[in-house]
Each structure stands twice: as C-alpha cells, then as structure tokens.
Amino acid sequence: MNLVMTSSPLAVVGCGFETSDAANVVTAHVLAMYAPSFFTGHVIARLGAEKVVAIGLTILAAAGAVAMTGVALENFFLALILLGVGWNFGFIGATAMLSANHTPAERGRMQGLNDFVVFAGVSVASFASGGLMNCSGGSVQAGWSAVNMAMLPFLVLAGGALIWFALRPKETR
C-alpha cells in the first residue's frame, strides 16, 4: 500500500493535474484507510479475520487494476480509495489473526515484532516507489504502471500465506 500511496502525488502532478488534485486524491485515500475502521471489527466478527484479509487483498488487487487502466483523475481517485479500503481490511484482519493465534503472554512481543517488520517494509517501499517512478521507462505513466505492477508479487505472497494458514489444521494454529 505504501509503495503506491507514496508515489501517487508524483504521478498525479506528473500526469498534468494540479497539486491540489494530488492533495485531494491523498485525502480521499487517507479517509478510505481509516473510515472503514468503524465497522471492520464487526465485519471480522461476522465473517472471520481470514475472509476479511482475503477481501482486503482482492480490493488491493482491484486498486492496482484500476490504476493500470489509465491516468485520468478519476482513476487516481478510485484506485487510491480502493487502496485505502483494501489496506484497512488487510491490516486490521491480519492484526486480529496475529493476536488470536498467540497466547496472552506472547501477544505483546509478537505485536512488537510484527510492527517492526511492517514498518521496516514501509520504509523500504517508500524509497523504492521513487526509484520505480523515476527509472521505469522514462515517462510518468510508465513509472506509475511499474509501481502498480510491483504490488502483484506481494499480493500473491500474502494470498499464498493466507491460503496456507487457512488450510492448516486448527490444532496447529
């Protein structure tokens, strides 16, 4: 998520839109990241954390697909809104899975380790997004496409891990 979010203002302005448009796209994205939190817990309670994470990954893939279809302002808005909602479902669902699968004595350390790994990855993604935008084909559109294509391996990896986890017997979790 951070890979795409970080480079989106550069892509919006690079595609000829105003900086105020870039700010509005990011504002819509941030609202989409946090507004669903009012009901994400209820959705997890109803469907289960694994299904919510799967829905989040699907929405993230849809965000990439929308971003790849064009560089109109509407594409940026829709892609970044989907990216925010997908992040919310994926992050909160995965955090619920993490805490549900550890003993109370382990939860604090595991949450700390998880936060360290996640935010280290966010740092790497922030730096990588600039490189992808600038070094991918020489145009803003090519860079924006490269950034969105870079999501794919991570979505496949997360989806594979989720399937592996779901297929494990409940006793081993």
69-85 residues labelled b (16+ CB within 10 A) or e (exposed): eebebebbbbbbbbbbb
pLDDT at 60 (0 to 100): 97
pLDDT at 164 (0 to 100): 94
Distance CA 117, CA 121 (A): 6
pLDDT at 27 (0 to 100): 97
CATH H superfamily, domain 2-172: MFS general substrate transporter like domains (1.20.1250.20)
pLDDT, block means (10 residues), the chain with 173 residues: 92 95 97 97 96 97 96 97 98 92 89 91 88 81 92 95 89 63
Cα 165–Cα 169–Cα 173 angle in degrees, nearest 5:
60
pTM, two decimals, is 0.91
pLDDT at 172 (0 to 100): 64
pLDDT at 33 (0 to 100): 97
pLDDT at 133 (0 to 100): 84
pLDDT at 68 (0 to 100): 95
Domain limits, the chain? 2-172
pLDDT at 173 (0 to 100): 57
